[in-house]
Amino acid sequence: MTESLRRTAIVTGAARGIGAETARRLAEDGFAVAVLDLDEAATKPTVDTIVSAGGRALGVGADVSDADQVQAAVRRITDELGAPTVLVNNAGITRDNLLFKMPDSDWDAVIAVHLRGAFLMTKAVQKHMVDVNWGRVVNLSSTSALGNRGQANYAAAKAGMQGLTKTLAIELGKFGVTVNCVAPGFVQTEMTMATAERIGQDWDDFVAARVAQIPVGRGGLPGDIAHAVSFFVSEGAGFVSGQVLYVAGGPKA
């Protein structure tokens, strides 16, 4: 991609894990990348990695579930990096518990970050895509959307991401915008490390138990997910929209 055609991408939750690797990959693909996360200071390692490899990146602090912060972030990205035409809704949290023990606030928090966050971010960015008749939205779902014990809030949010994806694909298609979902299985990140810690399981044992269920015989890495996002964002994927791609080392988690 030449400098004059360089497009701007936003990756939310990109300070670490899947988001950080996706931001790095999109920079390698030629995009200027807004590395958005709750704490701007925490985005510095991702930004530095991109810049030291010759890419362009901007660290932005914002809570994706807060409408005012989302508006301000998208304005700043547009001014400092360029109008965004690629959006990866990756920011996420878990607050796992069995239904009868789940505090209402943990239901609300998970729905707010994943679903309200993706809604607010996409609403704020879509204008820039429609303006140039080109855009790519990729939403992070999960194999948990198919049901997972202790994750009523997270599974509902991740299934909701799929409904949001399919509906936005229908609404935005005529403006040259594709909307797709990547649904990872087990990926080794701080999110899954926190799960192992919460249930009191040694990390290596936790990984081994999951890998035993995965047909390709290994756990997922952030780069596996970034590769799938890169495909959906690519120019050649313009006829692929409203799809959910499970990236899980097999047909199920």
Find the part of the chain contacting ligand NAP (CB under 6 A) among 15-23, 24-32, 100-108, 119-127: 15-23
Task: Check binding of 29 to ligand NAP (CB under 6 A).
Answer: no
Beta-sheet pairing, 32-37 with 135-140: unpaired
Beta-sheet pairing, 177-184 with 135-140: parallel
Task: Check binding of 33 to ligand NAP (CB under 6 A).
Answer: no
For residues 184 to 223, the per-residue mask of contacts with ligand NAP, x marking binding by CB under 6 A and - elsewhere, is x-xx-xxxx-------------------------------
**Residue 69 C-beta: closest distance to ligand NAP, Å:** 8
Residues 78-117 that bind ligand NAP (CB under 6 A): 90-93, 113, 117
**Residue 60 C-beta: closest distance to ligand NAP, Å:** 10
**Residue 101 C-beta: closest distance to ligand NAP, Å:** 21
Task: Check binding of 13 to ligand NAP (CB under 6 A).
Answer: yes
Active-site positions? 154
Binding site for ligand NAP (CB under 6 A): 12-13, 15-19, 37-39, 63-65, 90-93, 113, 117, 140, 142, 184, 186-187, 189-192
